[in-house]
Structure 1
Amino acid sequence: MNEENTIQNSNLETNKVYLGDCIEVMKTFPQDSIACCITDPPYNYEFIGHKWSDSEVQRRTERVKDSKTMVKNIPYGSGLAGGVRNARWYERNRNNDLDYMKWCQLWTDELFKICKAGAPVAVFNSNRSIAHVQIALENSGFYTRDVLVYRRNSGIPRGLNLEKKLEKMGHQDAPKWNGWHSAFRNEWEAVVIVQKPLINNYWETLQETHVGVFKTVNKDGSFQSNIFENLSKKDKSENYSHCTVKPLGLIKKLIDTLVPVHEENIIFDPFSGSGTTLVAAQELGFDFVGIEIEENYIPIINQRLEESKNNKALTPTLF
């Protein structure tokens, strides 16, 4: 463990990434200190047989980090892929969803404490489990502002191909089921936007905490919708060994939309991964703080931050 990247005291040191379980690390941060959180927590793809905890997050990270690809659907061997969809199957599925939501609320509770009044929080998740994350955030005290659609313009067909399944069974009606599958091709991700309650109104909150409103008019004068698309795809410099790296341009767009420029505004990511949120914050001229549970990602994050220093913007403050 690198002592430089661990919590030493209760003071919040910015422009660095802390190593550890974010639930525990956030407990050491000052309350009302974070201006915006943009994060991509573990998705609830693997289901049965494991409890959500910091050790489980590490296990899942280790399982997928070499392939750089998240599981497309419920994996075989989990107890929920294939097989008979009986009452027990659905019960186990539902119990896992509830277990995941309880785990989410452990970190959303701590996140609420350290966010400033009016602070926006943007959380990525799959279209199947975004509701559970949203409920956890609301249970912690945040209120929902919107659910954005990040359209990737790509996606792999998933689920059961009924025609091929019947062909393997030797069923004579297989050709009749050409084109029928058990799921859609997924080419979008959900981003739930929540906010910590204001201080009476938007202007009073903005004067006190420097956050609370969104920049929804684009450079060309158009009004930004809640569908984010036609953003830059990942380039080769972003192909780090993390399974769900988001495009740098997307994260920059979110920061630019959600956070007014002010010297006291800190961007935070409790699930830093390969550090894209931190790099985006640095290049836009914001201070940042990250947490990452997987020690092997710390040098990757620091390398990316060092390489991006020359791209740092000199943006004038709005206050």
Structure 2
Amino acid sequence: MTKKRAPRNRTLIVEDHEADDLLSEAIQLDQPSAVSEILNKIIHQDIENCIELVPENSIDLLVLDPPYNLDKKFGSTKFRSSSADQYSKLFENWIRLLKRCLKDTATIYVCSDWKTSNIIYPILEREFVVRNRITWEREKGRGAKSNWKNCSEDIWFCTVSDDYHFDVDSVKLKKKVIAPYKDSAGVPKDWNESKSGNFRLTFPSNLWSDISIPFWSMPENTDHPTQKPEKLIAKLILASSKEKDLVFDPFLGSGTTAVVAKKLGRHFLGIEREKYYCQLAIKRLRRAENDTAIQGYHDGVFWERNSLALQIKSKLKMDDPVSAKADGDLFAKI
């Protein structure tokens, strides 16, 4: 049954009349392929049935967001939690299949929850160079009466070797200065003073609290149960890839990694077994042809949560309607 949605609900859906046309853009592999044949494509298959047909040493950045060791329904597929040993063997097999596709200079980001992290870390440590664990605030979901509310997830930052790309300047966070400090000459120290507010570009840490989970009023939102925010993936792509690099997501879901890669001038490749999620991903990719906005990322800078809206209000108060409207038009989209 089709869900009845509120009038202002902007959740993206696939209409019956467009389903076949969208799916026609997905491909299936039945023989080894060259990079040129799979570039900027979505493969509609199970990972185990096609990954060995993806070229060796072809991937610059792997964003791996597999099912966590939890009971979860993904479209028509139900993923069941298992013992730590069983999940470990499953994850180890995924890594074995994927590793041959990576360049020696590749970076790997692996998404996980706190329980699953304990299982996968020993495997990642054995197969790659584990450089950090990012923890990000996933402020969504129900509370718990007999436990702390679970509102964080992990992203393991790994590389194949010590030769890898990392652009820290592209992922600095623009934060509002609460207690601005000036030197003896009255010059702002490590922050910028402007009519619209006082801001500082800060180095990114491994604790992220500036991410908003997609919800019903955001155009990037879909009905995928574990959809990652575009802003989250944008940080990974900007930090660890260059323009025209190939970004690979073998558990693509509703397409966030592919969409963000496209918006940021990277090539992409995705694998997704669920037909409906493939259709959603392709629909989002089509929209990205004309709309490259990423919520929370503006003028080449990541903004602290909700701070862009505050800047717009500040400009309006200063009778600066032109620049406020420019920011406001973007903010309306996101």
Give the TM-score band, short-chain normalised: 0.5 to 0.7
Is the 8 Å Cα contact of residues 285 and 312 (structure 1) preserved in structure 2? no
Structure 1 residue 254 corresponds to structure 2 residue 236: yes
Structure 1 segments unaligned to the other structure (5+ residues): 47-58, 79-92, 162-180, 199-204, 206-210
CA shift, 1:63, in A, is: 6.2
Give every structure 1 segment of 4 or more consecutive aligned residues whose post-TM-superposition deviation is greater than 4 Å: 1-4
SS of 1:148 mapped into structure 2: strand
SS of 2:271 mapped into structure 1: strand
Structure 1 residue 61 corresponds to structure 2 residue 14: no
Normalised TM-score (structure 1) = 0.68
- Corresponding residue number in structure 2 for 1:143: 129
Identity %: 29
Question: Which residue, 143, 150, 155 being the options, matches 1:191?
Answer: 155
Is the 8 Å Cα contact of residues 10 and 29 (structure 1) preserved in structure 2? yes
Aligned Cα RMSD in Å? 2.8
Structure 2 segments unaligned to the other structure (5+ residues): 1-22, 175-199, 294-298, 300-334
- Corresponding residue number in structure 2 for 1:98: 85
**Cα distance in 1, alignment partners of residues 210 and 136 from structure 2:** 9
**Cα distance in 2, alignment partners of residues 119 and 291 from structure 1:** 18
1:123-142 → structure 2 map (5 Å cutoff): 123-139=110-126, 141-142=127-128
- Corresponding residue number in structure 2 for 1:284: 264
Is the 8 Å Cα contact of residues 36 and 266 (structure 1) preserved in structure 2? yes
1:1-319 → structure 2 map (5 Å cutoff): 4-8=26-30, 9-12=32-35, 13-46=38-71, 60-62=73-75, 96-139=83-126, 141-158=127-144, 161=145, 181=146, 183-198=147-162, 205=163, 211-215=164-168, 218=172, 220-235=200-215, 236-259=218-241, 261-263=242-244, 265-312=245-292
What's the CA shift string for 1:99-158, capped at 9, x where partnerless? 01110111111221111113111111111111222223334x212111101112344223
**Cα distance in 2, alignment partners of residues 308 and 28 from structure 1:** 28
**Cα distance in 2, alignment partners of residues 267 and 32 from structure 1:** 13
User: In the alignment, residue 238 of structure 2 is paired with which amino acid?
Assistant: D
**Cα distance in 2, alignment partners of residues 143 and 4 from structure 1:** 33
Structure in which a larger fraction of residues adopt strand: 2
User: Would the alpha carbon gap of residues 249 and 213 (structure 1) be closer, same or farther in structure 2, given more than 3 Å must change?
Assistant: closer
Normalised TM-score (structure 2) = 0.65
Tell me the number of residue pairs that the alignment of Structure 1 and Structure 2 aligns. 241
**Cα distance in 1, alignment partners of residues 287 and 49 from structure 2:** 29
CA shift, 1:312, in A, is: 4.5
